[in-house]
Amino acid sequence: MEANRKTANEGRALNVKASHWEHFSHGSDIGVRGFGASVEEAFEQAAVALTAVVADVSRIRQLESVEVHCTAPDIELLFVSWLNAVIYEMAVRRMLFSGFQVATSGCSLTGNLLGEKVDPERHQLAVEAKGATYTGLRVAQQDGQWLAECVVDV
């Protein structure tokens, strides 16, 4: 695991004290990991970690909102579906998001994404996310927090 941990005060977008995100190493790509007091917060933070793979999250203004829905047979597959929904909206709308609000009901999810159109100069772009994978996939409680993580193909 790499020391790229961001705390609640370092460029993340949510107002939950315990929640944070980090990246972890993968041979050719990159792992994203979100922590939160609830599974929803962990999902939200992992989406911030995903965005941080693509761009500088702190430079993304929250000017527009996009709603996404996804379903899956279990919570881990729901997590991958959630990240893939974010990747899809980034790709087709040419947008970046820095704010994420997730609500789950069983194994269905509604997410609200807050962001703006891509600005290559301002957003410090790095690399596109092709898809969230089932590699290194885990959604679990750990040390009193929820954790959600997987590798993203870039």
Residues binding other proteins (CB under 8 A): 2, 4, 23, 25-30, 53-55, 72-73, 77, 80-81, 84, 87-88, 91-92, 94, 118, 120, 124-128, 130-135, 137, 151, 153-154
Pairing, β 20-25 against β 30-36: antiparallel
**Nearer Cβ to other proteins (103/126):** 126
| Min dist. Cβ of residue 144 to other proteins (A) | 27
SS3 at position 120:
coil
Concatenated DSSP letters for 44-107? HHHHHHHHHHHS-GGG----EEEEEEEE-SSHHHHHHHHHHHHHHHHHHHTEEEEEEEEEEETT
| Min dist. Cβ of residue 146 to other proteins (A) | 21
**Nearer Cβ to other proteins (18/118):** 118
| Min dist. Cβ of residue 145 to other proteins (A) | 22
Partners of 23 in the β-ladder? 32
| Min dist. Cβ of residue 3 to other proteins (A) | 9
**Nearer Cβ to other proteins (71/141):** 71
**Nearer Cβ to other proteins (70/114):** 70
Q: What residues contact 105, with CB distance under 8 A and at least 6 apart?
A: none
